[in-house]
Amino acid sequence: MEPTQNVTEFILLGLCHNEMLQPVCFVFFVLLYIATVLGNLLIIVTVKSSQYLKSPMYFFLSYLSFVDMCLSSVTAPKLIADFFVERKTISFDGCIAQLFVVHFFGCTEIFLLTVMAYDRYFAICKPLHYTTIMTGYVCGSLVMASWVGGFVHSIVQTLLTIQLPFCGPNEIDHYFCDVHPLLKLACADTYLVGVMVIANTGMLSLTCFVVLVVSYVIILVSLRTRSSEGRRKALSTCASHIAVVIIFFGPCIFMYLRPSTTFSEDKMVTVFYTIITPVLNPLIYTLRNKEVKNAMRKLGS
């Protein structure tokens, strides 16, 4: 039986309800978005044009920057435009499309961060075998697998949502279409769908996070046998990765590893992984990486 869809559009309540603060929020998020696009674009151009950044780590970093730029672009422009719009609407089809694309890029980033930990493990723990293991073909296959994994996850998440009936109300207390606010509006029992969302998104985030933590613990333990210079360089690289992992996975696990409920903190937590993390990644990777900073200087000279 086809789901009943009386709702043709949704009304987004947005991020900021205080009219006095809206101009401030507008400027803040415009600057954040510009910094996100320019910062990640700079990393992509630097990696692609520099002959010194040809290792797998920088290959993966360029794709991570591309995904960050896309993830922010799915939500930030609509959020910015809606600050001065009294009635913030989005069509039903547009809402479902936004849900799909956000989860596609979000999950792809989860897999890419896991792949980058895999790369660091072999680079630090198996240095003699690193070049034979992490070949161009393997690196390309891992990136492709991340894209496919993100697509499959997002398709499942979207199909779980779109088969639900929406017959009103149509107000989403959020600044973009996400699964929990939509489940709250469905005119049906969403318990089973909520459980499947936990399995599809929450457990995926937690599993990848545990794998990442274990891999970095193994890496840190292996560093005890290294020289002080080798240990310092490896720690500097791993510290950047660990910072990104914590900043990105913390909000994801909080949002999706729980029953289908919404909290007042959800919007600010979501801002963290859709807007704040993409702008922080270029800073984290460049400030702690001499090779990237040197390549950027040569690019500008």
Q: Which residues on neighbouring strands pair with residue 166, listed in sequence order?
A: 5
Cα–Cα distance for residue pair 210/204, rounded to 1 Å: 10
Sheet-wide strand order for 9-12? 89-91, 9-12, 171-172
Specify the 3-state DSSP secondary structure of 8: coil
Residue 1: pLDDT band with limits 50, 70, 90:
very low
Residue 129 vs residue 300, higher pLDDT = 129
Could you list the beta-strand ranges (E) of 103-251: 171-172
Q: Which residues on neighbouring strands pair with residue 246, listed in sequence order?
A: none
The pair of structure tokens assigned to 246 is 């914590």
Confidence (pLDDT) at 195: 87
Tell me the mean pLDDT in the region 153-167: 90
Cα–Cα distance for residue pair 243/144, rounded to 1 Å: 25
Write down the mean pLDDT value for the chain: 87
17-26 as b/e: b if 16+ CB within 10 A: eeeeebeebb
Confidence (pLDDT) at 265: 80
Spell out the residues 6+ positions from residue 50 whose beta carbon is closer than 8 angstroms to its own.
Answer: 295, 298, 299
Tell me the mean pLDDT in the region 115-136: 88
Confidence (pLDDT) at 283: 81
Place of tokens 């990136």: 143
pLDDT in tens, 53-88: 888 989 999 999 999 999 999 999 999 999 888 889
pLDDT in tens, 221-268: 887 777 777 677 777 777 777 888 888 888 888 888 887 777 778 888
Domains annotated for the chain, with CATH where assigned, are 9-300 (1.20.1070.10)
Query: How many CA atoms, within 13 angstroms, populate the side-chain half-sphere of residue 205?
Result: 22
Closest CA to 29 of 12, 16, 17, 11: 16
Specify the 3-state DSSP secondary structure of 120: helix
Q: Global pTM?
A: 0.90
**Calculated CA dihedral for residues 72, 197, 242, 291, nearest 10 degrees:** -40
Eight-state DSSP code of residue 188:
S
Spell out the residues 6+ positions from residue 246 whose beta carbon is closer than 8 angstroms to its own.
Answer: none
Place of tokens 């200087």: 297
